[in-house]
Structure 1
Amino acid sequence: MACSMTTPVLTLQDAALSLDGNAGRVDILHDISLTVNQSETLGLVGPSGSGKSSLLMLMGGLEQATGGRITALGHDLNEMGEDALARFRRDAMGIVFQNFHLIPTMTALENVATPLELAGHKDAFQRAEDELDAVGLSHRCDHYPAQMSGGEQQRVALARASAPRPQILLADEPTGNLDEANGSAIIDLLFGLRDRHGATLVLVTHSHTLAQKCDRVVRLRDGQIADETRREAAE
């Protein structure tokens, strides 16, 4: 059963996103109003092109809304400059991408420790070792991304995202490039990290299994919220 969650962490009010393309201005998201509460797990689902990943990018301040307002942990993301947004993401958010985005010339340990070092954590390498151990990769600390499988690389990406103890964890198709066994393992790790650190978890996914584990599922269609379902209702 989902716990009671009443403290807003992310709030979107009539958020919109339009981008200029070769064929002119393209409207991607329209009037999205949504609140995500502390420690909630939210799944964003819908067909390809429905705006799921774009919505996640707005939540993470990686895209700037062209309409409406987005507030994260009390900060208006549209009012923050690029440097302030980068510091905010570094200190308060963990982001996991489908394609891992590991630095190929760094070992697993260095990939996880470097963001911690940049944030000024004196125990960066010890914390990185602890996070790699938590995702079952203590034996891969000295390996480079090219020496690891896709599932192992995604585990490193998860360790890197969770090491700063973020209040918000965003994941864009975290199992999309993995086979069923590795995808299932990543799902368990994601929710395990949420349970360990108490982070709010927002996931873009095509995986029915992953969506079903979330407290709430929001379905997008044509850049708008089509419907939403809470897990209690499904159960």
Structure 2
Amino acid sequence: MTDPVFQLQDVTLKLKGNAGPIDILRGVSLEVTKGETVALTGPSGSGKSSLLMVMGGLEQATGGSVLALGQNLSTMNEDALSRFRQGRMGIVFQSFHLIPTMTALENVATPLELAGVSNAFEQAEAALSAVGLAARINHYPTQMSGGEQQRVALARACAPRPAILLADEPTGNLDSVTGATIMDLLFEMRDSYGATLVLVTHDPALAVRCDRAISLADGRVA
């Protein structure tokens, strides 16, 4: 029996809105096992991205329990969650979230330095080379295309060789050809060190590449 990487039990998420509380997640229960690749699918507003954020400890569930690698994220404060993610989770966002005043190399090396990695810049350079950006390490985000910026974001997420990779619509801001290249790289990085991958996608072709798809509708597993 493969150990579960994620165990969610009756997870709810309620956020404040102008007209009162809004139920985003309504009792989600699921398990993801080690090395598995899972797609979170469903229409816009179904709770996919919110579920991914809860799984990554970037959004605190308002009910239920969220266990990642055996640790209960539901009981951790923000500092504890940040420490837990370091080296264990790599997260790729749709909008890249690169620091504009830093080069590609610095963007990838900074989280490694914060995690206490002694050869952070060497490791960052190797990660950028792995995504085909060896010649762009000293370029700033504004000097790169969207696809190149997402490669930097992917290198940053994968450089620490985390046990978990989370990706929120990682190709959403890219054209189809560039998006396909990014997804090939994401799967390659997953394979290179056996990470567990959970991704949010609207793309059926991408969902079928995963081991399974979990469909959400109105904040529930459909």
Q: Distance in 1 between matches of 2:122 and 2:205?
A: 34
Counterparts of 2:50 and 2:143, CA distance in 1 = 31
In the alignment, which residue of structure 1 is the partner of 2:173? 177
Distance (Å, rounded) in 1 between the aligned partners of 2:114 and 2:218 = 39
> Who is 2:7 aligned against?
11
TM-score (norm 2): 0.99
Q: How far apart, in 2, do the equivalents of 1:155 and 1:89 lie?
A: 20
Q: Distance in 2 between matches of 1:210 and 1:155?
A: 18
Instruction: Give the CA RMSD over aligned residues.
Output: 0.8
For 1:180 and 1:63, locate their aligned partners in 2 and report how far apart those are by CA, in whole Å: 30
Q: Which of the residues 34, 39, 45 maps onto 2:35?
A: 39
Write the mapping of 1:215-226 to structure 2, written as runs, cut at 5 A. 215-226=211-222
Which residue of the other structure, out of 66, 71, 78, is the alignment partner of 2:74? Answer: 78
Aligned to 1:233: none
Residue 56 of structure 2: which of 52, 55, 60 is its match?
60
Which of these residues, 113, 117, 131, is aligned with residue 117 of structure 1? Answer: 113
The answer for unaligned runs of 5 or more in structure 2 is none
- Hey, what's the Cα distance between the residues in 2 that align with 1:81 and 1:217? 30
Distance 2:148 2:49 in 1: 23
CA shift for structure 1 position 44: 0.3
Which segments of 5 or more consecutive residues in structure 1 lack a partner in the other structure? Answer: 227-235
Using the alignment, how far apart are the partners of 2:198 and 2:208 within structure 1?
13
Q: Tell me how far apart the structure 1 counterparts of residues 93 and 2 of structure 2 sit (CA, whole Å).
A: 28
Task: Give the drift of 1:94.
Answer: 0.4
Matched, 1:160 2:156: yes
* Match of residue 106 from structure 1: 102
Offset at 1:90?
1.5
- Structure 2 counterpart of 1:63, which letter? E
* Separation in 1, partners of 2:43, 2:66: 24
1:129 aligns with 2:122: no
1:162 & 1:210 partners in 2: Cα distance?
20
State the alpha-carbon separation in 2 of the partners of residues 91 and 38 from structure 1: 16
Aligned length: 222
Per the alignment, residue 189 of structure 1 pairs with 185
Query: What is the Cα deviation at residue 91 of structure 1?
Result: 2.3
1:150 & 1:139 partners in 2: Cα distance?
16
- How far 1:78 moved relative to its partner? 1.1
TM-score, scaled to structure 1: 0.93
SS across alignment from 1:154: helix
* Percentage of matched positions with identical amino acids: 69
State the match for 1:20 in structure 2. 16
